[in-house]
Structure 1
């Protein structure tokens, strides 16, 4: 890519050209999996071919030599030390490491909420069934203001609360929760904090130090654009020694971050990790703040047009500071699951049906490789589909 990014200017057409072409569908579900850039794709293909020449030696004696450098690159993005980063396959694996690794006793309490990722909720409930811990829910509406959300968590905390499990951006709707304030609340009470940052890392500026959490978990195949099969777990140095690894290490576990790393799985693919470094380099050329501003701009572009559709209803607060690429909407009187199918089959537009509690809607999540004209195409298809 020949893009030259000036201090206050970015030509988004060059960014578009850097990405693998999305065809035949208009991909408006980047919150699930984002495409890689051409450079990332090429790096992985080259690594796969290199692996094939001498698999055992080339994977672990050659490709894996880059891992310390990869961790350092990621540490600069997330604002932590490289020796606080473990690499794994995705957010679910990282969340499970924290959920099942934090030492707890019977009757210790963990506070979750109805909007946490389902497998994370299931993990805590499994510990409740097996070990006798108590899972408590902080209940609030996703359209509530931050003060109401903070109050809901404060009401759920008791003298037995040991962990707050927090979702930074709710994947259902794109609502960003006040996790920094919640972590501050927890620190004052000696409560451990786990943040699911699957949707915020690389979509907007995120600082592990600034959040003040104990564990931060994310996937690298979403907004960073690394290959599928890459995740990151950040563990505060003070928590590493006492946290159990999800998979028992081959060697005697030491009180260092490597006990949570991917190689505890046994044989794994080193080649997919070869795409992390070029993904980080590309992201840095854009910058997290500029990435966030562009995603907000794209979201407002289509939302402001769609508002005029009769019955259009947003389920995501349009807040200037936290709004990003993920928005959930519904249209009164419409079968939203059927509408998802019509958009895909008749218009080749791919959005995602989401159902959480009483909310049934379509989640829309553009990425920076997309153009305003493509979002215009989506809104045109939406208008025509609802009649």
Structure 2
């Protein structure tokens, strides 16, 4: 049976076993930090290896005349996934580069205000603070809690808007704890006040259905090496057609500045590794064969599974809001549960648990701390199975017992 056949009568777990076979083995660690970077599927890995070997035979010709000839089709396929025009897509290296392009490229005057939150990606916040120091642009922090409901968040942004507000930075899903923002409603709020919206979609694109048109934002940024499974070093920047000409590129282009999306592309880097972009198309093909709706459901299922097992551990505290269908917990109006969740154990140092899990149990999770929230982030991917999550929870229980015994 070919696992690409979505109508196959094969049982769900058998289906995901075949998906697993499409990925390289994760060893020696059980990888539960896919929110940072995910392994590419085997066919993606092979495509990059083949492309690199092709480059080696005639670099100047094979990189730019052969491999780069595929880029328009790659953009066309990505445009179908994100629901925009290919002429609105630039390819770069990652979300941080895309964010910097927007942050430093949107023309602003001293005293203009930009709305940010305490929970946005640190380098994005730092970029706006740098513009404050250099140009007098004023970042305004919208205060709300990571576990607040949607209405409280919308109220926080609405309350912060003034006649000087020019830009609103919105993180679609916070990497800290998987909290999903009501971005579509916030973009509508921004449009009503003629405010440019920049959406950091690093954690949502390819993890769940995302439509650039439906979000209604002006700029959308993502990495392709997380939930799409493209090779490390691939990112996507989407800029609304009407905003392209007025936005400065991050790096000066080699040719005279063209007033189109090309000015944001990787060309301005000079010589770069074209081989990694050869892995984007097979990643798209695999993603399509499985289906983004099925991927979202599976990731939510895996997250619910490990939380359902871990919640009985004494002192277990979840820092990710649960939707109304989750685990009989008090729900927060926060959209669907995804693949990213943050937890802590009362009375146990999360940094110690992270280290013990890694060194003694070969389980890799990620310690995260922001403001007054700290814990361990867990982010499974579709190549993982529930028995591996059992291994994680069993290891967690053993690590907690050891930590408490040593106190």
TM-score (norm 2): 0.94
Out of 179, 199, 211, the residue aligned to residue 175 of structure 1 is 179
Q: C-alpha distance in 1, partners of 2:248/2:74?
A: 24
1:2 corresponds to 2:2: yes
Corresponding residue for residue 338 of structure 1: 352
- Aligned partner of residue 227 in structure 1, secondary structure: coil
Tell me the CA shift for residue 359 of structure 1: 1.1
1:88 corresponds to 2:92: yes
- Aligned partner of residue 387 in structure 2, secondary structure: helix
Corresponding residue for residue 364 of structure 2: 350
CA RMSD across the alignment: 1.0
1:27 corresponds to 2:31: yes
Cα pair 2:150 2:181 within 8 Å, conserved? yes
1:246 corresponds to 2:260: no
Q: C-alpha distance in 1, partners of 2:36/2:73?
A: 27
1:300 corresponds to 2:308: no
Tell me the CA shift for residue 8 of structure 1: 8.0
1:329 corresponds to 2:333: no
Tell me the CA shift for residue 6 of structure 1: 2.3
Q: C-alpha distance in 2, partners of 1:218/1:29?
A: 17
1:367 corresponds to 2:381: yes
- Aligned partner of residue 24 in structure 1, secondary structure: coil
Q: C-alpha distance in 2, partners of 1:216/1:8?
A: 35
Corresponding residue for residue 127 of structure 1: 131
1:49 corresponds to 2:61: no
- Aligned partner of residue 397 in structure 2, secondary structure: helix
Q: C-alpha distance in 1, partners of 2:59/2:227?
A: 30
Structure 1 segments of 4+ aligned residues over 3 angstroms from their partners: 7-10
Out of 376, 379, 387, the residue aligned to residue 390 of structure 2 is 376
Cα pair 2:6 2:290 within 8 Å, conserved? no
Q: C-alpha distance in 2, partners of 1:247/1:14?
A: 43
Matches within 5 A, 1:33-112: 33-112=37-116
Q: C-alpha distance in 1, partners of 2:7/2:304?
A: 24
Specify every segment of 5 or more residues in structure 2 that has no aligned partner in the other structure, as ranges: 326-334, 402-407
Corresponding residue for residue 148 of structure 1: 152
Tell me the CA shift for residue 97 of structure 1: 0.3
Q: C-alpha distance in 1, partners of 2:56/2:178?
A: 41
Tell me the CA shift for residue 201 of structure 1: 0.3
- Aligned partner of residue 86 in structure 1, secondary structure: strand
- Aligned partner of residue 291 in structure 1, secondary structure: helix
Q: C-alpha distance in 2, partners of 1:8/1:342?
A: 42
Tell me the CA shift for residue 322 of structure 1: 1.9
Aligned residues: 387
Corresponding residue for residue 12 of structure 1: 16
Q: C-alpha distance in 2, partners of 1:134/1:351?
A: 36
Tell me the CA shift for residue 5 of structure 1: 2.3
Q: C-alpha distance in 1, partners of 2:63/2:364?
A: 36
Matches within 5 A, 1:168-207: 168-207=172-211
Tell me the CA shift for residue 325 of structure 1: 0.4
Q: C-alpha distance in 2, partners of 1:171/1:253?
A: 35
1:385 corresponds to 2:399: yes
Tell me the CA shift for residue 4 of structure 1: 3.5
Q: C-alpha distance in 2, partners of 1:226/1:114?
A: 30
